[in-house]
Amino acid sequence: MRECIVLRPVLKETVWGGDRLATQFDCGRKQCAAGAEKIDFTSIGESWIVSAHPHGDCIIEEGTYAGETLSGLYKKHPELFGNLPYEEFPLLLKIIDAKSNLSIQVHPDDAYAREKEGCPFGKTECWYVMDCPEDAQLIIGHHAKTREELTRMVRENRYEELICRVPVKKGDFIQIEPGTIHAITGGMLLMETQQNSDITYRVYDYGRLVDGKPRQLHVEQSLEVIKVPDNAGRDGLIHTENGESAARINERKLLVDCTYYKVWKLTTGGTFTMEQSDPFLIATVLEGSGSIDGREMTCGDSLLFPTGYGDICFSGDMTLLLCTAN
């Protein structure tokens, strides 16, 4: 039986971030207490909980591989990750605390990222809503029917007409394909599973100033990659908390199975044992607390189980997201 891998999250300060990652999550609190990073703990937008990206490569906290980076471990020991065909570790998992709106943005696909950015991966991503205000809406997709209409509306700054707003509540899940225009809105706490990529094209930033200057926009790249038409926002939402698609206790429910990853929701009660039969499996606690194989777990904690780990034993009342690479 192999050991599980414990990673230290990388906290990211952003103009739109809040203080929840530093105050409501044990892993964030620990890092603040240690004074680990020179960071403003009142505006942390993202915690990269599993990342091998050069902009924030997680360090392994304990065990045989303590002190190594995830990117290094993936290269040295591909057998721990099922000998995947990717040169780099393929996924990036984040918890996002949006105190205010994120820019309206879009990501490229693999082909565009390779050709235009010299990066191995584009960005397909998915969101699980951990918490949100009562009347929350996400921005996903748009109303333009043709490319000409899209271009005109973008160039004329007619964003309110262009974008599609989708009402969401806690427990909702949605897949965001490359080319889908989107934005996370203020008050949202989300878990994001995505390809290992940090390429974002900002289409619109509400005229916001940072240090007296507007942030850079990428309108030309955006117009090249935005899909037309795009009804993703109207068609793609899954409600996992109630209704037909709600997850049952101690039964993992598949939320998405795409080219790059699978994501499941698991709500545990009492004791539940599951065999780890994927290339690797990442389990992240979103709510509640308990233990996994005797290790205390609480909200925001994540463990990576390598190939051939064997059985994983969950104990306690927890809501988790599980994911693996395809």
**Catalytic positions:** 202
What CA–CA distances, in Å, run from 109 to 147, 162, 199, 201, 220?
Answer: 18, 22, 10, 12, 16
- Whether 97 and 131 have beta carbons less than 8 Å apart is answered as no
- Whether 176 and 127 have beta carbons less than 8 Å apart is answered as yes
Over its C-alpha atoms, the chain yields an Rg (Å, rounded) of 19
Cis peptide before 229 (omega within 30 of 0): yes
Look at residue 204 and give its three-state secondary structure. Answer: strand
User: How far is residue 80's CA from residue 67's CA, in Å, rounded to a whole number?
Assistant: 17
Look at residue 118 and give its three-state secondary structure. Answer: coil
